[in-house]
């Protein structure tokens, strides 16, 4: 979890499933906002184009469906969607969720999307819209006061998993196979270490690939681990990683895979008073082993909150971001190039080499095009 900076604590307890119907709508003051025409940066790296989100709330997650349709989410019950590649955004707040922090979003189409709220007890929720965000249905609401859900990811429009911090040595993770109901799969997961948790920073502590593979990055415990499945979540195995670990505020924050075998893990230590240590590792065997050999570490101050591969711009191109900065690499983290003054962002994701987005504080959205 990432309840506040820099302190991170783990929850305890077992999650319960509650499916409730409710509706929400755009705020009456919602309007269409247009993007400035000029780009802010050009050159060998990406072109950066600021976009106008229509909200001043911090945005923490971004989910491109394709180069045109993108969903984002953030604090204050906020979400926004574009259907024209970010030229215009439509922002709104889910009715009844005004105090929630939507730390993850999964876009399915211009009409369909899921939102995940991270928080203690009943503040951890999952909503779904089928009409472009005009109304939302509450699919899941956690009832355990000690559980804290961090992130989710989907294989298909109706198959996904949501991860929670450990509760009494168990991860009360949940799974959907129909896009409507969620069931507990905690008994199928490895036992949790004391204090083990995920970081609800950018909605990328879970990554899915293909039809059955998934990886979950953890921290907050003696070992920072990757939990991995190759059978759609029926069984899981845990693998140690070499990134900074051993404190409640350190570990893996974001994980991504470009194919079933090659992946990258980013994270760090939130507390600036503690040793920062290695915060990037790569795997070539599907997450079973991770290495920091030859990898450039600590490319900017503080932890990496989110990272993403750039499809269509070399298999190994990666962008990483966090409140302390934003960098990109052509060689899967062996070396990094900084994007000057691009700070205060929490998440990054790409639909293609010319269609990537950074989201962050004060409702900021920046489009990246390689």
* Tens of pLDDT, residues 208-234: 999 999 999 999 999 999 999 999 999
| pLDDT over 80 at 6, yes or no | no
Instruction: Return the pLDDT at 2.
Output: 57
Matching residue, tokens 């990272």 = 307
**Token duo for residue 280:** 């990037």
Rounded to two decimals, what is the model's pTM?
0.90
pLDDT digits (tens, 9 = 90+) for 149-198: 999 999 999 999 999 999 999 999 999 999 999 999 999 999 999 999 99
* Contact by Cβ (8 Å): 338, 325: yes
Indicate the burial class of 4 (C-beta count within 10 angstroms; 0-12, 13-18, 19 or more): exposed
* Contact by Cβ (8 Å): 369, 355: yes
Helix (H) or strand (E) holding 203: none
Instruction: Return the pLDDT at 42.
Output: 43
**β-strands 206-209, 183-184 pairing:** unpaired
Instruction: List the one residue out of 214, 224, 306 whose CA is nearest residue 266.
Output: 306
Which segment of 33-47, 325-339, 350-364 scores lowest on mean pLDDT? 33-47
Sign of CA dihedral 16, 121, 274, 296: positive
Specify the CATH class of 32-369 in words: mainly beta
Sign of CA dihedral 92, 94, 95, 97: negative
Please state, in angstroms and rounded to a whole number, the distance separating the CA atoms of residues 133 and 23: 10
Mean pLDDT of the chain: 90
Instruction: Return the pLDDT at 26.
Output: 29
Instruction: Return the pLDDT at 229.
Output: 98
């Amino acid at each position: 979890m990432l309840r506040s900076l820099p302190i991170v604590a783990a929850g305890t307890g077992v999650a319960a499933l509650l499916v409730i119907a409710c509706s929400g709508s755009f705020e009456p003051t919602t309007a269409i906002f247009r993007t400035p025409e000029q780009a802010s940066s050009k050159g060998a790296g990406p072109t950066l184009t600021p976009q106008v989100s229509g909200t001043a709330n911090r945005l923490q997650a971004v989910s491109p469906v394709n180069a045109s349709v993108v969903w984002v989410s953030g604090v204050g019950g906020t979400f926004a969607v574009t259907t024209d590649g970010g030229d215009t955004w439509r922002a709104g707040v889910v009715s009844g969720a005004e105090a929630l922090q939507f730390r993850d979003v999964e876009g399915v189409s211009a009409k369909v999307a899921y939102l995940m709220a991270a928080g203690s007890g009943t503040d951890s929720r999952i909503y779904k819209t089928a009409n472009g965000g005009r109304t939302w249905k509450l699919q899941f609401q956690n009832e355990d006061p000690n559980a804290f859900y961090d992130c989710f990811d989907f294989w298909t429009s109706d198959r996904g998993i949501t991860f929670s911090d450990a509760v009494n040595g168990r991860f009360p993770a949940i799974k959907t196979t129909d896009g409507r109901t969620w069931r507990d799969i905690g008994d199928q997961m490895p036992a949790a270490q004391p204090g083990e948790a995920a970081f609800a920073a950018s909605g990328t502590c879970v990554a899915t690939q293909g039809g059955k593979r998934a990886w979950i990055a953890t921290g907050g415990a003696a070992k920072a681990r990757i939990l991995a499945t190759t059978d759609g979540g029926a069984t899981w195995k845990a693998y140690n990683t070499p990134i900074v670990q051993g404190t409640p505020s350190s570990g893996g924050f974001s994980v991504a895979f470009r194919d079933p075998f090659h992946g990258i893990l980013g994270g760090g230590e939130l507390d600036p008073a503690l040793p920062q240590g290695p915060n990037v590792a790569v795997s070539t065997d599907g997450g079973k082993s991770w290495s920091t050999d030859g990898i450039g570490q600590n490319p900017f101050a503080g932890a990496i909150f989110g990272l993403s591969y750039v499809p269509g711009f070399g298999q190994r191109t990666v962008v990483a971001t966090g409140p302390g900065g934003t960098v990109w690499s052509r060689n899967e983290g062996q070396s990094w190039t900084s994007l000057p003054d691009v700070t205060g962002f929490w998440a990054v994701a790409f639909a293609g080499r010319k269609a990537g987005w950074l989201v962050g504080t004060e409702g900021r959205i920046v489009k990246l095009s390689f």
